[in-house]
């Protein structure tokens, strides 16, 4: 065992003495050491209950012969961090999370890890750490929040964000917004729609790094606590079988995850995170792979924010295992991929639930014939841009409009809420990429404001930043190269025409090449002051969004 480096032999007597100071006995110290990574904090609603799940996972580890050793990790709530300086720290926190887990696991010679997580950057940060460490690992999510109820219909956090735009446009009064504020988020869990947190928790299950049910069992269900106990038991089996993340995180596993992502209509942020996890695992996963799979895999689940269903509905319909079973009949699931159950995907799917056709649509009656995400390239995005095509109105799939250029999210949001954006405009928000932001902030406020004002069917938004998974409409993000790296998005001027062709996978700036040459000659990218030594360091090392915004 790796932990023998810190506990076995004559020279480790001081080490054992310190462990005994914590109350551990000789016979406990001899057990395999299993780190329980606890992302609990009292700020994030998706994390407020993780202490309970950590105790349940620890009980499973202890009952199955291991010594659970709990330690914390940070987490940022993207909803609370949205639309202010805090959002610049969200994506960078992914790297801090991975680094801190690596430090704790190696610093204390741990034999295995159960990582208890839930929200946007915490889950991928843990997966990156699992790939780097290559110790037996299982990732356990805290589960999704139930949807709220308002006027006898289900609502969630995106409903509140969009309501802000509705109030600004005079389409809703403040009293109703107050009612929504009090009802949309009824309790603990990751926000109820197929936003980034739930997308990534589903991806962990599809990758084989979480037990069945990891992505969809609601946070408040007792089944989530039972899953935590089973996770503690399962990690001990992985220690015995010596099954490690790099046995699981293969090319086949990433293809499976992207396939499920396309069927779910998941968050565009999955492109950043899956590429980053793949890089940590030594797997080559280009951005174009998402588009290759999207063009072959139908969109089967009409999930919020684009559709009416929530994660609790998907769980009742059979969950991720039922989605994978349905996709396997299409021949696009790699059954030989290993999972943390010690069984292959194919073996797991032999006992998968029967899908509910009203939530997980049949292959011959999909929500859309193609998957949820499209990768666009063209003169405006030579290295690629990402759009959730499943959430775009049909009239906006092939469209052109006139650029309204903003040097950051705050400026754009003020203009939108002041009713200065009109039908036919393309809102361009630049210097919000990984380097330019820095931190590539999500922009749910401007996209939700447009939707709430009824402009999501006649106004597009293009940025080198990124969007929340709760975004809908013609919102095209991750434009690469970003403005801060000299990308064409930095050369756009007010009044330029921009052409969007999502079926044709094109995003083009309709400006003559001679004019573009003149603009390039005089172009000097600007650099936003941060007043943050951490963000200044981050921008020096972070890569393009097309490469997962990883640190080089």
Residues identified as active-site: 468
Distance from C-alpha of 500 to C-alpha of 370, rounded to nearest angstrom: 18
Kindly give the pairing relationship between strand 137-141 and strand 475-480.
unpaired
Residue 210 sits at the vertex; the CA angle it makes with 109 and 142, to the nearest 5 degrees, is 95
- Find out whether 317 and 359 touch, Cβ atoms under 8 Å: yes
**Residue-wise over 493-512: b if at least 16 C-beta within 10 A, else e?**
eeebebbbebeebbbbbebe
The alpha carbons of the chain give a radius of gyration, in whole angstroms, of: 23
Distance from C-alpha of 105 to C-alpha of 518, rounded to nearest angstrom: 53
**Residue-wise over 154-183: b if at least 16 C-beta within 10 A, else e?**
bbbbbbbbbbbbbbbbeebeeeeeeebeeb
Exposure of 532 by Cβ count < 10 A (0-12 exposed, 13-18 middle, 19+ buried)? middle
How many residues can be counted in the chain? Answer: 552
Distance from C-alpha of 57 to C-alpha of 10, rounded to nearest angstrom: 32
What the block records as the tokens of 424 is 């036919």
* Strand (E) or helix (H) holding 68: strand 67-72
- Find out whether 432 and 462 touch, Cβ atoms under 8 Å: no
- Find out whether 549 and 464 touch, Cβ atoms under 8 Å: no
> What does the DSSP 8-state code read for residue 171?
S
């Amino acid at each position: 065992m790796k932990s023998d480096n810190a506990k076995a032999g004559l020279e480790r007597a001081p080490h054992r003495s310190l462990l005994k100071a914590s109350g551990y006995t000789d016979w406990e110290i001899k057990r395999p050491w299993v780190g329980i990574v606890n992302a609990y904090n009292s700020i994030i609603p998706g994390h407020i209950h993780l202490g309970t799940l950590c105790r349940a996972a620890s009980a499973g580890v202890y009952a199955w012969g291991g010594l659970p050793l709990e330690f914390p990790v940070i987490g940022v709530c993207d909803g609370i961090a949205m639309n202010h300086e805090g959002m610049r720290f969200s994506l960078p926190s992914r790297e801090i999370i991975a680094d801190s887990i690596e430090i704790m696991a190696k610093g204390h010679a741990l034999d295995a890890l159960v990582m208890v997580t839930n929200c946007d950057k915490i889950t991928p940060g843990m997966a990156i750490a699992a790939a780097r460490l290559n110790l037996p690992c299982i990732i356990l999510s805290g589960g999704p929040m139930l949807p709220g109820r308002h006027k006898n219909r289900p609502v969630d956090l995106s409903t509140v964000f969009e309501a802000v735009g509705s109030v600004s446009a005079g389409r809703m009064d403040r009293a109703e917004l107050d009612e929504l504020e009090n009802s949309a988020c009824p309790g603990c869990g990751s926000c109820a729609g197929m936003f980034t947190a739930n997308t990534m928790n589903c991806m962990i299950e599809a990758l084989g790094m979480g037990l069945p049910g990891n992505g969809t069992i609601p946070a408040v269900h007792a089944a989530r606590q039972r899953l935590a106990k089973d996770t503690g038991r399962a990690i001990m089996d992985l220690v015995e079988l010596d099954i490690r993340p790099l046995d699981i995180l293969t090319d086949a596993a990433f293809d499976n995850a992207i396939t499920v992502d396309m069927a779910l209509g998941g968050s565009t942020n999955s492109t950043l995170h899956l590429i980053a996890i793949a890089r940590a695992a030594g797997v080559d996963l280009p951005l174009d792979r998402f588009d290759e799979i999207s063009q072959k895999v139908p969109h089967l689940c009409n999930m919020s924010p684009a559709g009416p269903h929530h994660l609790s509905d998907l769980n009742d319909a059979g969950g991720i295992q039922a989605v994978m079973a349905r996709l396997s009949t299409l021949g696009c699931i790699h059954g030989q991929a290993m999972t943390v159950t010690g069984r292959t995907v194919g073996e797991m799917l032999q006992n998968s639930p029967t899908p509910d056709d009203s939530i997980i649509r049949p292959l011959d009656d999909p929500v859309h014939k193609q998957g949820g995400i499209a990768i666009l390239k063209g003169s405006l995005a030579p290295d690629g841009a990402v759009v959730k095509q499943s959430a775009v109105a049909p009239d906006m799939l092939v469209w052109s409009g006139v650029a309204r250029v903003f040097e950051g999210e705050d400026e754009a949001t003020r203009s939108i809420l002041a009713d200065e954006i009109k039908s036919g405009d393309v809102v361009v928000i630049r210097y919000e990429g990984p380097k330019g932001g820095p931190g590539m902030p999500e922009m749910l406020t401007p996209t939700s404001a447009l939707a709430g004002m009824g402009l999501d069917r006649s106004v597009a938004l293009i940025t080198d930043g990124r969007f929340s998974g709760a975004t809908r409409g013609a919102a095209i993000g991750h434009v690469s190269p970003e403005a801060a790296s000299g990308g064409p998005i930095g050369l756009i001027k007010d009044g330029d025409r921009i052409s969007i062709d999502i079926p044709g996978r094109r995003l083009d700036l309709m400006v003559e090449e001679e004019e573009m040459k003149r603009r390039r000659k005089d172009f000097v990218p600007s650099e936003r002051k941060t007043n943050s030594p951490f963000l200044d360091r981050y921008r020096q090392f972070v890569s393009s969004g097309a490469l997962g915004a990883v640190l080089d």
